[in-house]
Amino acid sequence: MNFIPFKGGVTATGGKLLWVNENSVAAGFSMWSKEYKEYMLVLLLNNNRQIRIREDDAPAALEELGLGEYSDSWILNLEADLS
């Protein structure tokens, strides 16, 4: 297994995200968190669990996953993304 370490982020249960197996990630998307009043990057795992990463930590998390090209544009922009 190939684990990717993280420096920040929170899980769905509010704990610190230490690492993730990149082969376990089924999808990634952004969502607004009413609780934190900011966008969160959500990694949907193959077992239907979610890892939620806070906005400040999301670009670094994407870099660690090898998805650096999305680190500046991971938040859904309705005008740009859906037009």
Q: Does 83 score more than 70 pLDDT?
A: no
| Tokens standing for residue 37 | 């009043």
What are the tens digits of pLDDT across the range 9-65? Answer: 655 556 666 777 778 888 989 999 998 899 999 988 898 888 888 888 888 888 888
Q: What is the pLDDT of residue 14?
A: 62
CB-neighbour burial class of residue 71 (10 A; exposed 0-12, middle 13-18, buried 19+): middle
Q: What is the pLDDT of residue 54?
A: 87
Structural domains in the chain plus CATH codes: 3-78 (2.40.50)
What are the C-alpha distances in Å from 77 to residues 31, 50, 52, 66, 72?
Answer: 11, 22, 19, 22, 12
* pLDDT-based confidence at residue 78 (cuts at 50, 70, 90): confident
The model carries a pTM of 0.76
